[in-house]
Amino acid sequence: MRRQESFHITRYARTYDRTEGKFLIDIRYKVKTEVTPRTIGVAEAFGIGVDDFRQQVIYDNVTLKIGPRDIVYITGESGSGKSVLLREMEKDLGAEAVNIDDVKPDQEKPIVETVGRNLDEALELLSRVGLNDAYLFVRRYRELSDGQKYRYRIARLLESPSQYWVMDEFCATLDRDTAKIVAFNIQKQARRVGKAVIVATTHTDLFEDLAPTVHIHKGWGRRLEVNYHPNKPDEACSLTRSLRIEEGTLNDYKQLAEFHYRSGRCPSPRKVFCLKRGDELCGVIVYSHPPPNVFGRRRVLKAEFCKLKHELSTITRVVLHPKYRTIGLGARLMKETLPLAGTRYVQAIAVMARYNPFFEKAGMQRVAETRGDRTLQEAVTKLGELGFKTYALASQETNLNCLRALSGEELARVRDVLLKVSQGYYKRLKASGKAYVLRNEYEKFIEEATVEMLARVLDRLAVLAQAKVYLFWTETQKSF
């Protein structure tokens, strides 16, 4: 009868002092292999005893001091025992620890439905981990890339009450650039909310971005090196050192337009700036001419528009490649280009500013927030009464299907709803290149518009009715 391989633990001890945050771990075992004709042949050829126990020491009375706000980086080759250490620490921590592998995403629901207690909290959490795109918010987990899935699970960790975040094979499936960005973001978020992170990985290239307070390198056998570091993370991800900003063109924006939720027509640019890493285009910001009527502007600028239009620019697009989000590049791109826009004043009207403060981090002043005036809100409400899905007004295809299903009388009511919108919105609803659109011009446009044109007008109406923030910058304003 064949004897199977025997594994016998000769000493296994671990203690955890919760008060002092001390772990004491001692693990060693004996092993002997199965006796077969071939293993006997190996024994005879090399003079070894396959039937004898051979002792292995993994951890030899190791003492580790780890607190509830430490960032712990465990490295070592595959099979060296780093995962064993991680598991034992997780056992000792019990309910205080949450493992990222225990995050079980709902594969079928849009991710915005699966985090946060309400919509605002969900958008904030997803934005903090770099899933800050309108179309990403409504995707299902199974539709995300590997890097986006990792970011999503970090968002779930952020709302966990557990004090310690545990991750084995940390970022093992990600390309190294994405791994560094994720490492930088996870320590940033953990430090922000006062949590601890314990990760294990074969990769040693994440030290700078993870900025650990405890670095444990597990070698073979009993070899172990432990180093403690001050809790002083770098201010920027290591990848940002190789980035540069230069003036670009509208074609640069078009290369990244698919990553912006308003990927269609971009207003005529006054200036375009690019964020590049080597030949790779990582981000774009577009400065355009200002519209004549904007909420909030009167609070900071009192002059007539005809006098302002040459001194005022509007930030109409800020786009980052999804890979490069969460490492402060949006704020950097804006902060470094505001003085280069060529105008004394710069304004921005942004939905994302409600959930992501990068405009203010770049030095812009938050002035006002609005959902559009009364006429816009009334128009949306009346369209809902006519059978339109108000949450889908930004979809031209949905609008078109609804318009085609209306009777002639109902279609006339839609035109009437649009005619009651305030004059300040005529130019944007008509998408005219003119500075002003007169009442009779707008009326003629709406009355003669085909259903295809009306579908586009309803899309623009939905955008105008969104809750937005007005932000302002002047050349005399100091960025922070």
DSSP string, 111-129: GGGSSSSSHHHHHHHHHHT
- Of 221, 227, 223, 154, nearest to 192 by C-alpha is 154
Contact of 59 with 26, CB cutoff 8 Å: yes
pLDDT interval class at 343 (50, 70, 90): very high
- Name the H helices within 129-175: 134-137, 146-158
- Phi then psi for 18, rounded to 5 degrees? -65, -35
Q: Is the dihedral of CA 410, 414, 415, 419 positive or negative?
A: positive
Contacts of 19 (CB under 8 A, 6+ apart): none
User: Which pLDDT belongs to residue 93?
Assistant: 92
Q: How far apart are CA 258 and CA 254, in angstroms?
A: 8
Weakest mean pLDDT among 44-53, 225-234, 298-307, 439-448:
44-53
Band (pLDDT 50/70/90 cuts) for residue 12 is low
Tokens for 135, please give them: 């179309």
Phi, psi for 341 (deg, rounded to 5): -65, -20
Section 151-171 average pLDDT: 95
Q: Could you tell me which residues come within 8 angstroms of residue 434 by beta carbon, excluding any fewer than 6 positions away?
A: 427
- Residue 62 makes CB contacts below 8 A (sequence gap 6+) with 23, 24, 25, 26, 224, 226
Angle between helical axes of 451-464 and 374-385 (0-180°, round to 10): 130
User: Band of the pLDDT at 426, cuts 50, 70, 90?
Assistant: confident
> Counting beta carbons within 10 angstroms of the beta carbon of residue 52, is it exposed (0 to 12), middle (13 to 18) or buried (19 or more)?
exposed
Domain at 67-235, CATH class? alpha beta
Question: What's the burial of 463, exposed, middle or buried (CB within 10 Å: 0-12/13-18/19+)?
Answer: middle
Query: Does residue 116 carry a pLDDT above 50?
Result: yes
Give the model's confidence band at 32: pLDDT under 50 very low, under 70 low, under 90 confident, else very high.
low
184-240 pLDDT, tens digit per residue, is 999 999 999 999 999 999 999 999 999 999 999 998 878 889 999 999 888 899 999
Instruction: Indicate if the alpha-carbon torsion angle 364, 370, 371, 373 is positive or negative.
Output: negative
Pairing outcome for strands 269-277 and 196-201? unpaired
Quick one: how far is CA 360 from the chain centroid? 18
3-state secondary structure 431-465: CCCCCCCCHHHHHHHHHHCCHHHHHHHHHHHHHHC
Does residue 283 carry a pLDDT above 90?
A: yes
With vertex at residue 105, the alpha carbon angle to CA 99 and CA 111, rounded to the nearest 5 degrees, is: 125
Task: Specify the CATH number for 240-371+468-474; select among 3.40.630.30, 1.10.3210.10, 1.10.8.870, 1.20.120.420.
Answer: 3.40.630.30
CB atoms within 10 A of CB 182: 25
The fraction of the chain above a pLDDT of 70, given in percent, is 93
| Contact by Cβ (8 Å): 251, 284 | no
pLDDT given at position 71: 97
Under DSSP, the state recorded for 66 is: -
Q: How far apart are CA 155 and CA 140, in angstroms?
A: 15
Give the model's pLDDT for residue 414: 95
- The answer to whether 243 and 333 have CB atoms below 8 angstroms apart is no
Answer whether 145's CB lies under 8 Å from 111's CB: no
Question: What are the helix (H) ranges across 30-175?
Answer: 37-46, 82-93, 119-128, 134-137, 146-158
Q: In the prediction, which pLDDT does 1 show?
A: 37
Q: Go through 217-242 and write b for each residue having 16 or more CB atoms within 10 A of its CB, e for each that does not.
A: bbeeebebeeeeeeeebeeebbbbee
The per-residue pLDDT for 54 is 63
State the pLDDT at residue 8.
47
Distance CA(314)–CA(340), nearest Å, equals 13
The pLDDT score that the predictor gives to residue 455 is 92
Task: Considering only CA atoms, give the Rg of the chain.
Answer: 30
Interval 30-52 mean pLDDT? 76
Domain segments of the chain as ranges: 6-63, 67-235, 240-371+468-474, 374-464
Among 62-76, 141-155, 289-303, where is mean pLDDT lowest?
289-303
Token pair of 436 as six digits: 């002003």
Select the highest-mean-pLDDT range: 18-27, 66-75, 466-475: 66-75
Residue 129 contacts residue 158 (beta carbons within 8 Å): yes
Closest among 367, 300, 359 to 480, alpha carbons compared: 359
Burial 78-93 (b: 16+ CB within 10 A, else e): eebbbbebbebbbebb
* 260 or 242, which is more confident: 242
Tell me the pLDDT of the chain averaged across its residues.
Answer: 88
Pick the closest to residue 379 from 288, 467, 458, 472 (CA basis).
458
- Report d(CA 183, CA 179) in Å as an integer: 6
> What DSSP character marks residue 174?
S
Q: How far apart are CA 48 and CA 40, in angstroms?
A: 9
Taking the CB of residue 42, how many other CB atoms lie within 10 A of it?
13
pLDDT at res. 434: 65
At 36 the three-state DSSP class reads coil
Which comes out higher in pLDDT, residue 246 or 373?
246
pLDDT grade for 58, boundaries at 50, 70 and 90: confident
pTM score of the predicted model: 0.78
